[in-house]
């Protein structure tokens, strides 16, 4: 523990130069803009081609980008988009959170507890998952992939609508009205302009049937099937390929150990944090949990999570509360 505290103190000082509070964060605005341009481009191309196969291909592409918007909302929850709290909130809500049925303020309240009480009875993420069989590891590969299949059929839409209800902010009447108006506009556009109906349907289908699969894989990869002995092996850093990152770990979220240890660092600096953390851990003879890929390779997350045997999954033990980041 003392080694970890010393490491964090040393690197916190080093990483302070990476935090440049500005009225607007250009990398975040660029990421948000390109994400929406990509969604519009994919749906426009699919509308133009009007092919079943092109529409089918568009669903995971749109869902991967929706996943990216959620991660950018996560950046907003950490106040990384703008140093002006109101601007940060509105940009995060309008362009990232609301389009995927979330809310920045409510997500932040949940997420900061997750950071403070990781994998304990005070961690709302842990409490929500700890008694569910699909969240107990290790488990067999057949069970793991069967659960992902269920997500695509009925569990994904059902689960995401429950989450959407939990994250609907009624405290601010202005925000509640604006969010409702945003989705009402989608419906009106589809009703008035028949040409837009397939695109609106594809966006909705991506969000409800495909996006939850990507979100589930990422959520499992972040904290499950780990040693859970100290702060540096309660969370993973996953490098991933470009394709893996697009669908499962957009905007650096795969470097989740780096984020949990240094949440004040924005996503576009996490690769530097990861490299420096790896180097510093080696110097201090600490062993952080780092994987190269999720599905493939000798150091895959899937190997951590699954066993060839058919034994019953074992409940992961909660960690000590003093492991907070």
Judge whether residue 13 has pLDDT over 90. no
In a domain, 47, yes or no: yes
Classify residue 142: in a domain, yes or no.
no
Q: Say what the pLDDT of residue 231 is.
A: 83
Residues near 299 by beta carbon (within 8 Å), at least 6 away in sequence: 290, 291, 292, 293
Per-residue confidence at 5, pLDDT binned at 50, 70, 90? Answer: confident
CB proximity list for 245: less than 8 A, separation 6 or greater: 254
**Residue 322 pLDDT grade (very low, low, confident, very high; cuts 50, 70, 90):** very low
Which is more confidently placed, 100 or 13? 100
Residue range 57-72, pLDDT digits in tens:
999 999 999 999 999 9
Residue 279 lies in a domain: yes
pLDDT tens digits, one per residue of 261-296: 999 999 999 999 999 999 998 888 888 899 999 998
Q: How far apart are CA 12 and CA 264, in angstroms?
A: 9
Most confident of 41-45, 142-146, 222-226: 41-45
pLDDT, residue 216, reads: 94
Domain of residue 188 covers: 2-134+150-306
Residue range 223-227: mean pLDDT, rounded: 86
Q: Which residues contact 317 (CB under 8 A, 6 or more apart)?
A: 228
> How many residues belong to the chain?
325
Is residue 312 assigned to a domain? no
Q: Which two tokens stand for residue 232?
A: 């540096």
Q: What are phi and psi of 139, to 5 degrees?
A: -140, 165
Query: Cα(146)–Cα(13) distance, rounded to whole angstroms?
Result: 45
Q: Which of 280, 228, 249 is nearest to 11 (CA)?
A: 280
Report if residue 315 sits inside a domain: no
In a domain, residue 40? The reply is yes
pLDDT of residue 271: 94
pTM value is 0.90
The per-residue pLDDT for 52 is: 96
Inform me whether the pLDDT recorded for 308 exceeds 60.
Answer: no
Angle at the Cα of 255 from the Cα atoms of 276 and 241, rounded to 5 degrees: 105
pLDDT bin (cut points 50, 70, 90) of residue 323 is: very low
72-130 pLDDT, tens per residue?
Answer: 999 999 999 999 999 999 999 999 999 999 999 999 999 999 999 998 889 998 898 88
Identify the pLDDT of residue 24. 84
pLDDT band at 324 (very low <50, low <70, confident <90, very high): very low
What residues are paired with 237 via a beta bridge? 255, 290
> Is the pLDDT reported for residue 155 higher than 80?
yes
What ranges in 206-241 are assigned the alpha helix state H? 211-223
320 occurs within a structural domain: no
Residue 311 reports pLDDT greater than 50: no
Which pLDDT does position 321 carry in this prediction? 40
Our count of domains for the chain comes to 1
Within a domain: 262: yes
pLDDT score of 307: 63
């Amino acid at each position: 523990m003392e080694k970890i505290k010393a490491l964090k103190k040393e690197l916190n000082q080093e990483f302070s130069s990476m935090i440049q509070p500005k009225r607007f964060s250009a990398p975040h605005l660029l990421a948000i803009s390109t994400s929406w341009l990509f969604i519009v481009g994919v749906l426009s191309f699919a509308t133009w081609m009007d092919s079943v196969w092109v529409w089918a291909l568009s669903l995971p592409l749109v869902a991967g980008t929706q996943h990216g918007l959620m991660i950018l909302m996560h950046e907003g929850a950490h106040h990384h988009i703008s140093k002006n709290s109101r601007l940060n909130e509105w940009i995060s809500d309008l362009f990232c959170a609301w389009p995927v049925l979330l809310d920045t303020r409510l997500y932040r309240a949940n997420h900061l507890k997750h950071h403070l009480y990781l994998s304990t009875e005070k961690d709302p993420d842990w409490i929500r998952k700890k008694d569910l069989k699909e969240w107990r590891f290790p488990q067999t590969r057949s069970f793991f992939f069967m659960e992902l299949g269920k997500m695509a059929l009925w569990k994904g839409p059902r689960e995401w609508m429950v989450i959407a209800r939990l994250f609907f902010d009624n405290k601010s009447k202005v925000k509640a009205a604006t969010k409702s108006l945003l989705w009402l506009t989608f419906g009106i556009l589809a009703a008035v302009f028949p040409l837009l109906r397939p695109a609106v349907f594809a966006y909705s289908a991506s969000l409800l049937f495909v996006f939850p699969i990507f979100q589930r894989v990422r959520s499992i990869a972040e904290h499950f099937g780990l040693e859970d002995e100290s702060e540096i092996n309660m969370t993973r850093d996953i490098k991933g390929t470009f394709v893996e990152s697009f669908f499962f770990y957009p905007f650096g979220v795969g470097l989740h150990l780096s984020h949990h240890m240094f949440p004040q660092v924005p996503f576009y600096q996490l690769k530097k944090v990861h490299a420096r953390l790896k180097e510093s851990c080696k110097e201090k003879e600490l062993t952080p949990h780092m994987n190269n890929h999720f599905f493939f390779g000798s150091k895959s997350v899937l190997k951590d999570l699954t066993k060839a045997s058919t034994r019953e999954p074992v409940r992961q033990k909660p960690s000590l509360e003093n492991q907070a980041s």
